[in-house]
């Protein structure tokens, strides 16, 4: 009796469990009697990809798509019904005689999407998702009748083609989504244009936004980073009667990559980093000035390494249509009166370029360069020529007939282009040695540097007068130069770790291109850094700080960077250190200096920062002539900025950072004289204890150190407040706290100001170079706030948020109590307070190590 009940329950359980188990198990194939319903997934054989219904972003609509099965961040790579979503949750993808593969919603009479294949009898057909991410419809499990890769969405996967198939008429190109919430066919496309000498193109709407140029044997002319010879992947280009196509394939299965075109028209190649659980950017374009199609107009050459104003030049034999030649201008025309037809003309070589738009160029693969030249010379309409294939020293011939569009220079890649010039120009170039001689080039670059410096000075002078207008103009220019790169918000901070060594070399190279336009942290190669700083040469040295030396560097894309080579006293391991750098790099505030990257090689620990040409605050306020440039209004802006930056470090960022070495030389000024705090997080990186604590090593600068920190090694956010107070007093008075104290009846600046404060005479100490440009009450308020910050007892000092609010309103302030006179005039014998070994007087950082 009981056993039959048990059996009954068992059967019941089985009956209950069985169907639901089946539903949960992912399918590996679709057959005519087994469709996929909303909620079910189809996976590829090794489970790399999955297919099912999804809703992107905030959308309520349901789409059938393919995504990575193992990547936690759901990343859609292909969408079937991108323009016809399912309205309800009853969506079905099924095999159907009429259409092959079809999608229906609740209303089964309306076909929302169809593969448009007619099947005689649907019984023998299956649909599978391959490990490449390709959805295929198979006949008798073999013959491919239809495949998803023939209809790309916005993503290019390894082994997926772009181009076109002449026989079937299929066009393989990527099309962006409409928005993050709508995978519908957007307006940006990425594909190959077969016109003339076929080229890779990115279009925004109907216009070209970027041109990859023609395939020149082992790479695209305009994409020197990706070549067929890079080890991590192989690429292939086919151009025959059947098809014109480009494929890239990743050589290692473990590496997951995808190329994607976003709604703003930026194409990027991303790599999945499973240690960081993030997509990492490998390449993106357009990303530089000269990436923008036709940036300088016809018959020009664009050079991203040059400053914005100088990026465009005319090709040889041409002159500016309406000088001066500018980005977005009219480009260049033949020099007036110059004849280039049977009149002694010739060719001038322009090296290292992306060759001009070849949509109307003519190609002959069986010609040599010599033959090519002859052919071009004979034909008066021919304006330029070069090899069609770079391999083996160059073969084939391309000739241009008409304007030369969208030529650009690469610093150490790119092809030669031979441009037709008239006799006079030919003679000029011949005299200077083929193309421009070294001397001429040097002269030109020196000239342009001088012009640039002059312009900068002019701008500087004028901006002092007409700040408003000029600032706006400057902003516009900066904005323009950033448009391309900043169009897309940086969602995936780049983190390369040991797992992706395959890409490190290439990314190291990319760093040079990319670091100018995105805020990602990059790992630089020591080689790159050594080259940029001429092997850490003395002439590149900017200064020496508490944690090492700072050098100026110039990357080979022309970007200026500041390089901090950390001294080796950190005992931290490389991994730990790297994590620390990554954490610190996440701190982003407009009043903090931006970290661009780092280099951890050969026991070197190097940090790469943005370069700020205006140097540090001390070079202004302690300099007789430069201090005049800082009006009171400007100084207030600087004070506010420092306060906000410090507040961010103390309270707003996720990590509580105590700077511990705030001083005038650690506050840098950007182009518009806005302050940026440098060297933050250093103490953290060097593994000091992270809360209010005792520390064995005191890091800080004489004159800025709070008494409890200098004497007892006790630090807290209030030690930074103390340093801020000192800095504030220095900004107001233009005098160093720890400088020479001649003329002060008391020990130091603080002591002196305190005496004046008590006597109601602080006005006497205000920097005389401020002239009459200030409100006395404002300055006195600042001095009072500063005195509150330097009070002897840490608990009496305000927090930075309090300081910011005191600076920002007119509320009544408390009266400061006696400040700490840390720097007493010491007798040569010294006494108890100098027992930590600090005895340097000037603005030198000292490190005091307490014996254990």
Catalytic annotation present for 357: no
Query: Shortest CA distance to 197 belongs to which of 392, 372, 342?
Result: 372
CB of 320 within 8 A of CB of 329?
yes
Rounded to a whole number of angstroms, the minimum distance from the CB of residue 122 to ligand NAG is 9
Measured distance CA(504)–CA(271) in Å, rounded: 11
Q: Are 658 and 705 in contact (CB under 8 A)?
A: no
Burial of 395 (0-12, 13-18, 19+ CB in 10 A): middle
The C-alpha torsion from 145 through 147 and 151 to 153, rounded to 10°, is 160
SS3 assignment, position 768: helix
Cα-Cα-Cα-Cα dihedral sign, residues 687, 693, 697, 698: positive
For the record, the structure tokens of 816 come out as: 């400061």
**Nearest distance from C-beta of residue 665 to ligand NAG, angstroms:** 54
How many residues belong to the chain?
852
Indicate which residue of 291, 389, 661, 720 is catalytic.
661
In the sheet with 595-601, reading across from the earlier edge strand, the strands are 522-523, 595-601, 604-610, 560-566, 548-554, 541-545
For the purposes of burial, counting CB atoms within 10 Å of the CB of 84, is it exposed (0-12), middle (13-18) or buried (19 or more)? Answer: middle
Q: Which residues define the annotated binding site?
A: 564
Q: Which two tokens stand for residue 433?
A: 């040695």
Q: Which is nearer to ligand NAG, 250 or 780 (CB)?
A: 250
Q: Are 607 and 566 in contact (CB under 8 A)?
A: yes
Nearer to ligand NAG, 149 or 547 (CB): 149
Q: What residues are designated binding site for ATP?
A: 564
Within 10 A of 720 (CB to CB), how many other CB atoms are there?
A: 27
We find the least distance from the C-beta atom of residue 140 to ligand NAG, in angstroms, to be 6
Please check whether residue 415 is in contact with residue 217, taking contact to mean a CB–CB distance below 8 angstroms: no
Backbone angles phi, psi at 765, to 5 degrees: -95, -10
Integer Cα distance of 16 and 11 in angstroms: 8
Find the shortest distance in angstroms from Cβ 467 to ligand NAG: 55
Report helix, strand or coil for 707: helix
Residues 764, 775: Cα–Cα separation, whole Å: 14
Least distance in Å: CB of 117 to ligand NAG?
A: 9
Q: What is the 3-state secondary structure (H, E, C) of 90-130?
A: CCEEEEECEEEEEEECCCCCCEEEECCEECCCHHHEEEEEC
Beta-strand relationship, 155-157 and 257-261: antiparallel
User: By the criterion CB under 6 A, which residues form the site for ligand NAG?
Assistant: 87, 105, 114-116, 120-121, 124, 140, 151, 234, 236, 247, 249, 364, 366-367, 371
What's the sign of the alpha-carbon dihedral 814, 815, 817, 820? Answer: positive
Structure tokens at 270: 């991303």
The dihedral region occupied by 297, where left means phi > 0, alpha psi between -120 and 50, and beta the remainder, is left
Angle (CA) 578-583-584 rounded to 5° is 95
Output the CA–CA distances (angstroms, integers) from residue 103 to 27, 96, 146, 147, 611, in the order listed: 17, 10, 15, 15, 55
Helices (H), 309-380: 369-378
Dihedral, CA of residue 612, residue 617, residue 619 and residue 622, to nearest 10: 170
| Cα–Cα distance, 128 to 141 (Å, whole number) | 9
Report in angstroms how near the CB of residue 139 gets to ligand NAG at its nearest: 7
> Least distance from C-beta 211 to ligand NAG, angstroms?
23
Active site residues: 661
């Amino acid at each position: 009796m009981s056993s039959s009940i048990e059996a009954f329950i068992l059967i019941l359980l089985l009956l209950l469990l069985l169907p639901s188990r089946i539903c949960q198990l992912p399918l590996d194939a679709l057959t005519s009697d087994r469709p996929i319903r909303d909620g079910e997934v189809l996976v590829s054989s090794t489970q790399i990809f999955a297919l099912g219904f999804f809703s992107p972003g905030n959308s309520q609509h349901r789409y059938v798509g393919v995504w990575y099965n193992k990547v936690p961040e759901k990343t859609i790579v292909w969408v079937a019904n991108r323009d016809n979503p399912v309205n309800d949750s009853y969506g079905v993808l099924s095999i159907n005689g009429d259409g092959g593969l079809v999608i229906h919603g609740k209303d089964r009479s309306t076909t929302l999407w169809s593969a448009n294949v007619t099947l005689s009898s649907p019984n023998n057909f299956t649909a599978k998702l391959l490990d490449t991410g390709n959805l295929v419809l198979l006949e008798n499990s073999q013959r491919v009748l239809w495949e998803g890769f023939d209809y790309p969405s916005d993503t290019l996967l390894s082994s997926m083609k772009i181009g076109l198939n002449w026989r079937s008429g299929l066009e393989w190109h990527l099309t962006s989504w409409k928005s993050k919430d709508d995978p519908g066919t957007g307006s940006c496309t990425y594909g190959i244009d077969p016109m003339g000498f076929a080229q890779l193109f990115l279009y925004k709407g109907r216009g070209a936004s970027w041109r990859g140029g023609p395939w020149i044997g082992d790479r695209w002319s305009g994409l020197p980073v990706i070549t067929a010879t890079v080890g991590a992947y192989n690429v292939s280009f086919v151009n025959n009667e059947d098809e014109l196509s480009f494929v890239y394939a990743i050589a290692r299965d473990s590496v997951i990559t995808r190329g994607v075109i976003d709604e703003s028209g930026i194409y990027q190649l991303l790599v999945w980093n499973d240690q960081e659980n993030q997509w990492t950017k490998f390449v993106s374009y357009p990303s530089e000035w000269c990436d923008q199609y036709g940036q300088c107009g016809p018959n020009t050459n664009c050079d991203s390494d040059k400053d914005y104003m100088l990026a465009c030049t005319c090709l040889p034999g041409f002159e500016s249509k309406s000088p001066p030649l500018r980005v977005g201008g009219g480009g260049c025309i033949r020099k007036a009166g110059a004849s280039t037809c049977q009149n002694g003309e010739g060719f001038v070589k322009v090296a290292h370029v992306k060759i001009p738009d070849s949509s109307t160029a003519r190609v002959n693969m069986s010609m040599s360069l010599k033959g090519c030249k002859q052919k071009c010379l004979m034909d008066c309409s021919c304006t330029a020529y070069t090899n069609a294939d770079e391999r083996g020293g160059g073969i084939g011939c391309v000739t241009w007939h008409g304007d030369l569009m969208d030529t650009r220079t690469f610093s150490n890649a790119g092809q030669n282009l031979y441009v037709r010039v008239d006799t006079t120009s030919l003679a000029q170039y011949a005299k200077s040695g083929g193309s421009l001689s070294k001397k001429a080039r040097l002269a030109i670059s020196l000239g342009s540097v001088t012009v640039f410096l002059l312009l900068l000075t002019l701008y500087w002078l004028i901006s002092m007068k007409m700040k408003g207008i000029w600032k706006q103009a400057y902003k516009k220019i900066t904005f323009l130069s950033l448009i391309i790169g900043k169009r897309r918000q940086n969602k995936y901070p780049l983190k390369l770790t040991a797992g992706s060594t395959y890409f490190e070399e290439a990314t190291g190279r990319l760093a040079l291109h990319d670091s100018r336009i995105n805020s990602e942290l990059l790992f630089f190669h020591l080689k790159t850094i050594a080259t940029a700083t001429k092997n850490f040469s003395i002439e590149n040295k900017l200064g020496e700080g508490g944690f090492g030396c700072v050098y100026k560097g110039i990357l080979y894309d022309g970007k200026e960077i500041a390089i901090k080579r950390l001294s080796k006293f950190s005992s931290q391991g490389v991994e730990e250190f790297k994590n620390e750098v990554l954490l610190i790099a996440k701190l982003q505030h407009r009043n903090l200096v931006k970290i661009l990257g780092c280099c951890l090689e050969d026991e070197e620990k190097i940090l790469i920062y943005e370069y700020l040409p205006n140097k540090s605050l001390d070079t202004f306020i302690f300099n007789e002539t430069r201090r005049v440039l800082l009006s009171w209004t400007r100084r207030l802006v600087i004070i506010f900025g420092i306060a906000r930056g410090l507040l961010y470090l103390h309270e707003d960022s996720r990590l509580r950072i105590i700077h511990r070495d705030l001083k005038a030389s650690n506050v840098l000024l950007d182009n518009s004289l806005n302050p940026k705090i440098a060297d933050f997080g250093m103490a953290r990186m060097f593994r000091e204890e992270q809360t209010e604590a005792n520390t064995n090593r005191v890091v800080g600068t004489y004159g800025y150190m709070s008494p409890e920190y200098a004497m007892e090694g006790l630090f807290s956010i209030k030690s930074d407040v103390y340093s801020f107070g000192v800095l504030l007093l220095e900004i107001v008075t233009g005098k160093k706290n720890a400088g020479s104290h001649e003329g002060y009846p008391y020990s130091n600046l603080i002591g002196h100001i305190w005496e004046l404060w008590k006597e109601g005479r602080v006005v006497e100490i205000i920097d005389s170079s401020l002239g009459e440009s200030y409100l006395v009450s404002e300055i006195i308020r600042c001095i009072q706030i500063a005195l509150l910050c330097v009070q002897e007892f840490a608990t009496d000092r305000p927090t930075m948020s309090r300081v910011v609010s005191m600076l920002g309103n007119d509320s009544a302030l408390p009266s400061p109590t006696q400040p700490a006179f840390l720097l007493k005039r010491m007798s040569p014998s010294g006494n108890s307070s100098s027992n930590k070994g600090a005895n340097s007087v000037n603005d030198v950082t000292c490190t005091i190590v307490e014996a254990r």
